[in-house]
């Protein structure tokens, strides 16, 4: 089993475009399909644009202070590195999702239950933000040693 994994996350413009398009759909629907006041349409679209920009900046462009810029595994302890430069030991939550090309990880700090870090790892031919070999090693570790509970039928 792997005892040392370094997985730096990279800024990805194709991923940013994909996330922006995903948020454009509810924004367009809020503007066109709902019935009611025009102010409600405008307010809903502003909220969707703000949420979309926040997710693009945090997950694809790694521009916010809480953005996760890397994952590190040392001695069976997973930790995240934030944009601020701090390393935080975390555990993988049961509601994380893992496939061969995409991982959506919910990571809970061991010291606190207030914050949760969400990490989007993508290794697609047209869109990637991780090293493929390090991503494969992390997937193997998550499947065999990093799962929160062996009896759970969750994909992690």
Per-residue pLDDT tens digits for 55-91: 888 888 888 777 899 999 998 899 999 888 889 999 9
Count: domains in the chain: 2
With 70 as the cut, is the pLDDT of residue 1 above it?
no
Mean per-residue pLDDT of the chain: 84
Domain shared by 77 and 35, yes or no: no
Note down the domain range covering 77. Answer: 4-10+68-144
Over range 126-148, report the average pLDDT: 86
What's the pLDDT score for residue 39? 75
Q: pLDDT for 3-33, tens place per residue? A: 689 999 988 888 888 889 888 888 888 777 7
| CA 145, chain centre distance (Å) | 20
What's the pLDDT score for residue 2? 57
Domain boundary residue, one of 26, 43, 60: 60
Domain shared by 31 and 78, yes or no: no
With 70 as the cut, is the pLDDT of residue 154 above it?
no
Query: Of the ranges 34-38, 51-55, 119-123, which one carries the lowest mean pLDDT score?
Result: 34-38
Domain shared by 48 and 104, yes or no: no
What's the pLDDT score for residue 147? 58
Domain shared by 84 and 117, yes or no: yes
What's the pLDDT score for residue 65? 77
What pTM does this model have?
A: 0.75
Domain shared by 39 and 56, yes or no: yes
Domain shared by 56 and 87, yes or no: no
What's the pLDDT score for residue 153? 43
Percent of the chain scoring above 70 in pLDDT: 88
């Amino acid at each position: 089993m792997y005892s040392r994994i370094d997985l730096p996350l990279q800024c990805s413009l194709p991923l940013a475009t994909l996330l922006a398009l995903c948020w454009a759909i509810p924004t367009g629907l809020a503007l066109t399909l709902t019935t009611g006041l025009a102010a409600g349409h405008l307010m809903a679209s502003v909220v969707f644009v703000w949420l979309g920009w926040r997710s693009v900046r945090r997950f694809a462009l790694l521009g916010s202070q809480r953005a996760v810029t890397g994952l590190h595994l040392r001695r069976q302890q997973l930790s995240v590195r934030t944009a601020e430069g701090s390393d935080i030991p975390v555990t993988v939550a049961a509601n994380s999702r893992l496939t061969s090309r995409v991982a959506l990880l919910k990571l809970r700090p061991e010291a606190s239950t207030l914050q949760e870090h969400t990490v989007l790892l993508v290794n697609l031919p047209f869109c990637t933000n991780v090293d493929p070999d390090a991503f494969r090693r992390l997937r193997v570790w998550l499947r065999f040693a990093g799962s929160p509970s062996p009896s759970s039928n969750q994909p992690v």
